[in-house]
C-alpha cells in the first residue's frame, strides 16, 4: 500500500464525514434543543491533543453564537485540577460538559467525565466517532459521527466532522436556524477547496527549504491554528507553533528567518490587523500563506457567514502536512512515538 494511503484517503474524503455530522445533529435535534433549554452557568469543552484544540475553537464559537459563558480545558487538567473548572471544588452552578473524543476511550477524557460527574456538576454531552465506547456509556447524550472514523493516528476527517457538528450545535443552541440550514453548503465548498488547492498544498508541503512553521489565528481560529500546528508536527516532524495573531510580535517574531513559513488563518472582522502581521514577517524574509474567504492565497469563496466557515481552514493545511511528510520520506499514517489512543493504566 502506498505510503500515507490512509491519511490521503481520509483527508480527501472528509466532506462525506461533514455531511454525516450534519445528519447526526439533525437526527438529535429534539434532545439537543431540550438540553440547551436548561439554564447552564457555563459550557465547558474538554478533549486531549487535537480534541483539546477543537475544544478551544468550539468554546469561542459557542460563546459567540449563544452568548453563554463557554471555555475549554485539556481533559487531563479537569481530571487532575478540577478546581480549574469548578468553584471551591463543587460546581456551584450547573455546567454543561461537552466531552470531545475521536475514540471515545482516551483515559484522561474518561477520568475527566468521572470527576465532573462526581461533583454532580450538570449534564454531559459526548461528541465522538465511535459507538459503544466508554465515553458514550458515561454521557447523558452522545453524538456519534461514524463516517469520521479513521485508521491514521493523526486526526483529519474525524476532527473536521466533529468541528462541523459543533458548528451546527452552536447555531442550534443560539436559535440561528436559517444559518443552520446554510451549513449544508459546507461539503460542496470543502470538495472544491480540496480540488482547487491540492497542488498548492503539495507545493508548500514539498518546499523543504522551510524548517519552521508558525500558524496564526485569533478568535475561533486560534484553536484551528493549534490543530494545524499539531498536524504538521505529528505527520512531518516539523518545528511548529501556534499563536494569536498580535501575540506574534511579542517575542516569537524574533525567530523569523528566510527558512520560516507563517500561515495566517485570516478573519473578516480583523483582517487589516492580521494582514499587517503577515506583511511584517514577509519583510523579514519569511514566506507567508494566508487563508480567508477572499483575497488570500487560499480563498474559500463560500458565500457563508464567518462563524460557519471554521472547518474550511482545515483541508488545505491537513494536505500540506501530508505532502510534507511524504517529501521527508516519513509515514503520515503512523507518526513515530504516537498511538491513535492514549490509554493510561
Ligand atoms: C486524542 C488523540 C490526540 C492526538 C492524536 C490522536 O484522542 O490522542 O491527543 O493528538 O490526534 O488522538 P481522542 O480522545 O480524540 O480519541
Q: Which pLDDT band holds residue 340 (cuts at 50, 70, 90)?
A: confident
Number of structural domains (the chain) is 2
CA of 319 relative to ligand 1 center, distance in Å: 19
In this prediction, residue 283 carries a pLDDT of: 98
Residue located via cell numbers 484553536: 223
Pocket test for ligand 1, best of 7, 45, 48 (most atoms within 8 A of CB): 48
Q: Is the pLDDT of residue 327 over 90?
A: yes
> What's the rounded mean pLDDT across residues 170-189?
97
> What's the rounded mean pLDDT across residues 170-178?
96
In this prediction, residue 131 carries a pLDDT of: 97
Nearest to 36 by CA among 25, 22, 52: 25
Shared domain for 136 and 246, answered yes or no, is no
User: What residue numbers bound the domain in which 89 lies?
Assistant: 5-186
For position 98, which CATH number holds? Answer: 3.40.50.10490
Nearest CA to ligand 1 atom 9: 49
Please indicate, yes or no, if residue 333 is contained in any of the structural domains: no
Residue 291 cell numbers, joined: 487563508
Q: Is the pLDDT of residue 128 over 70?
A: yes
CA of 175 relative to ligand 1 center, distance in Å: 31
CA of 96 relative to ligand 1 center, distance in Å: 22
Domain boundary among 186, 206, 232: 186
Nearest CA to ligand 1 atom 6: 340
In this prediction, residue 167 carries a pLDDT of: 98
Domain boundary among 186, 205, 220: 186
Q: Which atom of ligand 1 is nearest to the CA of 48?
A: 9
pLDDT in tens, 253-289: 999 999 999 999 999 999 999 999 999 999 999 999 9
pLDDT in tens, 130-143: 999 999 999 999 99
In this prediction, residue 92 carries a pLDDT of: 58
Pocket test for ligand 1, best of 74, 79, 103, 156 (most atoms within 8 A of CB): 103
Q: Which pLDDT band holds residue 316 (cuts at 50, 70, 90)?
A: very high
Shared domain for 83 and 45, answered yes or no, is yes
Shared domain for 113 and 211, answered yes or no, is no
Shared domain for 197 and 179, answered yes or no, is no
| Alpha carbons 338 and 162: distance in angstroms, whole number | 21
Shared domain for 151 and 300, answered yes or no, is no
Q: Which pLDDT band holds residue 251 (cuts at 50, 70, 90)?
A: very high
Nearest CA to ligand 1 atom 4: 49
Q: Which atom of ligand 1 is nearest to the CA of 49?
A: 9
Please indicate, yes or no, if residue 337 is contained in any of the structural domains: no
CA of 102 relative to ligand 1 center, distance in Å: 7
Q: Is the pLDDT of residue 88 over 60?
A: no
Q: Which atom of ligand 1 is nearest to the CA of 155?
A: 11
| HEC-encoded secondary structure of the chain | CCCCHHHHHHHHCHHHHHHHHHHHHHHCHHHHHHHHHCCCCEEEEEECCHHHHHHHHHHHHHHHHHCCCEEEEEHHHHHHCHHHCCECCECCCCEEEEEEECCCCCHHHHHHHHHHHHCCCEEEEEEECCCCCHHHHHCCEEEECHHHCCCCCCCCHHHHHHHHHHHHHHHHHCCCHHHHHHHHHHHHHHHHHHHHCHHHHHHHHCCCCCCEEEEEECCHHHHHHHHHHHHHHHHHCCEEEEECHHHHHCCHHHHCCCCEEEEEECCCCCHHHHHHHHHHHHHCCCEEEEEECCCCCEECCCCCCHHHCHHHHHHHHHHHHHHHHHHCCCCCCCCCCCCCCCCCC
Nearest CA to ligand 1 atom 10: 49
In this prediction, residue 107 carries a pLDDT of: 97
Pocket test for ligand 1, best of 138, 229, 341 (most atoms within 8 A of CB): 341
Domain boundary among 161, 186, 211: 186
Q: Which pLDDT band holds residue 224 (cuts at 50, 70, 90)?
A: very high
* Average pLDDT value over all residues in the chain: 95
> Does the global pTM surpass 0.85?
yes
Q: Which pLDDT band holds residue 87 (cuts at 50, 70, 90)?
A: low
Percent of the chain with pLDDT over 90: 88
Please indicate, yes or no, if residue 332 is contained in any of the structural domains: no
Shared domain for 300 and 277, answered yes or no, is yes
Q: Which pLDDT band holds residue 3 (cuts at 50, 70, 90)?
A: confident
285: left (phi over 0), alpha (psi -120 to 50) or beta: left
Q: Is the pLDDT of residue 250 over 60?
A: yes
| Alpha carbons 205 and 200: distance in angstroms, whole number | 8
φ, ψ at 288 (rounded to 5°): -120, 135
Nearest CA to ligand 1 atom 14: 101
Shared domain for 97 and 209, answered yes or no, is no
Shared domain for 138 and 217, answered yes or no, is no
CA of 301 relative to ligand 1 center, distance in Å: 31
The CA dihedral of 30, 168, 16, 186, to the nearest 10 degrees, is 140
Shared domain for 141 and 69, answered yes or no, is yes
Shared domain for 238 and 270, answered yes or no, is yes
Please indicate, yes or no, if residue 51 is contained in any of the structural domains: yes
Pocket of ligand 1 (CB under 6 A): 48-51, 101-103, 106, 109, 153-155, 230, 340-342
Q: Is the pLDDT of residue 90 over 80?
A: no
Please indicate, yes or no, if residue 237 is contained in any of the structural domains: yes
In this prediction, residue 286 carries a pLDDT of: 98
Please indicate, yes or no, if residue 335 is contained in any of the structural domains: no
Please indicate, yes or no, if residue 334 is contained in any of the structural domains: no
Please indicate, yes or no, if residue 272 is contained in any of the structural domains: yes
Q: Is the pLDDT of residue 91 over 60?
A: no
pLDDT in tens, 41-69: 899 999 999 999 999 999 999 999 999 99
> What's the rounded mean pLDDT across residues 112-120?
88
Shared domain for 239 and 180, answered yes or no, is no
pLDDT in tens, 191-223: 999 999 999 999 999 999 999 999 999 999 999
> What's the rounded mean pLDDT across residues 21-33?
98
| Alpha carbons 220 and 56: distance in angstroms, whole number | 8
Shared domain for 158 and 196, answered yes or no, is no
Amino acid at each position: 500500500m502506498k505510503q500515507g494511503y490512509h491519511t490521503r484517503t481520509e483527508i480527501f474524503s472528509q466532506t462525506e464525514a461533514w455531511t454525516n455530522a450534519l445528519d447526526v445533529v439533525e437526527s438529535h435535534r429534539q434532545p439537543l434543543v431540550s438540553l440547551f433549554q436548561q439554564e447552564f452557568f457555563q459550557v465547558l469543552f474538554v478533549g486531549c491533543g487535537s480534541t483539546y484544540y477543537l475544544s478551544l475553537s468550539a468554546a469561542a464559537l459557542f460563546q459567540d453564537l449563544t452568548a453563554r459563558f463557554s471555555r475549554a480545558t485539556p481533559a487531563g487538567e479537569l481530571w487532575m485540577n478540577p478546581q480549574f473548572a469548578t468553584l471551591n471544588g463543587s460546581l456551584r452552578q450547573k455546567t454543561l460538559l461537552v466531552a470531545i473524543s475521536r475514540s471515545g476511550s482516551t483515559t484522561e477524557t474518561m477520568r475527566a467525565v468521572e470527576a465532573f460527574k462526581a461533583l454532580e456538576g450538570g449534564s454531559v454531552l459526548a461528541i465522538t466517532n465511535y459507538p459503544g465506547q466508554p465515553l458514550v456509556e458515561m454521557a447523558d447524550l452522545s453524538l456519534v459521527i461514524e463516517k469520521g472514523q479513521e485508521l491514521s493516528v493523526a486526526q483529519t476527517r474525524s476532527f473536521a466532522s466533529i468541528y462541523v457538528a459543533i458548528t451546527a450545535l452552536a447555531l442550534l443552541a443560539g436559535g440561528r436556524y436559517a444559518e443552520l440550514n446554510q451549513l449544508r453548503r459546507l461539503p460542496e465548498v470543502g470538495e472544491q477547496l480540496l480540488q482547487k488547492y491540492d497542488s498548492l498544498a503539495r507545493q508548500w508541503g514539498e518546499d523543504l527549504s522551510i524548517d519552521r512553521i508558525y500558524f496564526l489565528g485569533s478568535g475561533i481560529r486560534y484553536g484551528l491554528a493549534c490543530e494545524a500546528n499539531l498536524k504538521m508536527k505529528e505527520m512531518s516532524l516539523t518545528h511548529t507553533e501556534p499563536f494569536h495573531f498580535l501575540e506574534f510580535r511579542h517575542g516569537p517574531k524574533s525567530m523569523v528567518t528566510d527558512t520560516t513559513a507563517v500561515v495566517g488563518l485570516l478573519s473578516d472582522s480583523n483582517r487589516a490587523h492580521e494582514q499587517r502581521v503577515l506583511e511584517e514577517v514577509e519583510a523579514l524574509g519569511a514566506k507567508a500563506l494566508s487563508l480567508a474567504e477572499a483575497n488570500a492565497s487560499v480563498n474559500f469563496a463560500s458565500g457563508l457567514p464567518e462563524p460557519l466557515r471554521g472547518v474550511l481552514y482545515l483541508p488545505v493545511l491537513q494536505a500540506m502536512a501530508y505532502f510534507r511528510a511524504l517529501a521527508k520520506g516519513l509515514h503520515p499514517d503512523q507518526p513515530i512515538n504516537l498511538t491513535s489512543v492514549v490509554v493510561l493504566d
